[in-house]
Structure 1
Amino acid sequence: MIRVCFAGVTGWTAPPILAAVDRADDLALTAGVSRSAAGRTLADAVGHGDGRVHASVADALRDAEVDVLVDYTSAAAVRGNVWAAVEAGVHAVVGSSGLTAADYAELDGLARERGVGVVAAGNFSVMAALLQRAASLAAAKLDHWEIIDYASDTKPDVPSGTARELAESLGEIRRPEGGVPLVELHGPAEARGAEVGGTRVHSVRLPGFTVSTEAVFAGKGERLVMRHDAGDSAEPYAAGTVLAVRRVRESPGVRRGLGALLFDDTEEDAGKEG
């Protein structure tokens, strides 16, 4: 039985994932983390599990039996939560945005030192993983691309975890050819977006969006646009999160992206140029 602590247990993402954990014969929700519901039983707060809701991950790991921490909190909280788990020898599945490539490199070293696994994805949707897979194949063959990152006007972190992970994964394959150098632009350089892993990323924050990620590839006389649109439900993240919970213990260190679990040949094939 894999014992799970869910950080962000009263959040928007939690209900379908908690229901999936509850349906699984090999998983058990033993603790939750939510400051607003701290002290309540899981059954009372969210309708699943036999343990309690705690104010912090440190409290949960001290008071409950936990094998895997699942974090769906915020950019402000995720680092402290995940580092606390790994330091305690607890595996982690990270669905929160906010960690950079440098953060993950540091976390990878700590996880290997502690002998625990971490699976982190900007988006645990299978369709989002397929977007990243397809974009990686395109980046190995095409020379020009940028990313457009859409989210609601209330989302404080830019770019989204989905867009950041996509840009960083493409950067591991190659960097796109640039246009006019920033120093030669007429006007504010910020209009060209931010550089993430060598890719220009443009974050749009408007009402009516959840998270949409668009990879735009272009050549002379043609364009290829790949886009993933998230709906108003967290249901698409349930299957991928449960898969990560089951497989996070397979190897120590950080594995990034749901594709690392879905496509065994991702790095070998998607990274080939030609």
Structure 2
Amino acid sequence: MPDTCSTPITGIDAHAHVFSRELKLAAARRYTPDYDATLAQYLKHLQSHGLSHGVLVQPSFLGTDNRYLLAALRQAPEQLRGVVVLEPDVSRAVLDDMARSGVVGVRLNLMGKALPDFRDAAWRGFFGHLAELDWHVELHRNVEDLPGLIRQLMPFGIKLVIDHFGRPDARLGTAQPGFAELMELGQGGRVWMKVSAIYRLAGTEQQNLAFARASLSLLEQNFGPRRLVWGSDWPHTQHEGNVGFDTVMAQLQALQCSAPLMRALLVETARSLFRF
């Protein structure tokens, strides 16, 4: 694992993507980019917003071909960590090599997909390797399905990270199916939440922000500040027309966090979880 001691941490963006439109895309995908999101562009955004480090997450439309992400990690090993997408039959040698490049987790993007059966032998072996490597599993799925998935994964002893507030529908409020269960599961100390992508919460801008504020208050109570991280979700795929890095930084400020919570979101929790 790269050593980042020489780079002071002023802020960590826990969720961003890099890609090129020229890359081979996964056959089954929900989105096709018509632009490039380069590492140079991303690092410039970090610098201009007072952030020092970032976590690159493999976008779903690139499938399990993580080469572009891994190349980016090698270009800025002190500043970056990576979260990859893999098949469960991947070899331990490949995992070990990725770990040396700065990979610290695996994303399961289950949006729009049939739910996997984690009792399968391939999954059990896979999660065993991740536990030994101390990687986390990042879950991207609508909130109503998350409690069941979390309960399936808990016995493996791995850290679980939930994307984008758990992808609730802001229009339904905090009483929607799955949300209260998710808060309860957060009390166990093995689940982290990404406070990110407020614009993906399905409501109007005002509804989304109001829900995010209410949700963050409950998350602070149930998960605790040391289980919450912030992410930009740059380059805001499918929302590029009206969302930019300035937008998400403004939304973060609009959450009106206390100073200790803001420091936990931007520095302390992410530094520990992503092993900076």
With normalisation by structure 2, the TM-score equals: 0.34
Task: From the CA coordinates, give the structure whose radius of gyration is larger.
Answer: 1
The structure with more strand, counted as a fraction of residues: 1
With normalisation by structure 1, the TM-score equals: 0.34
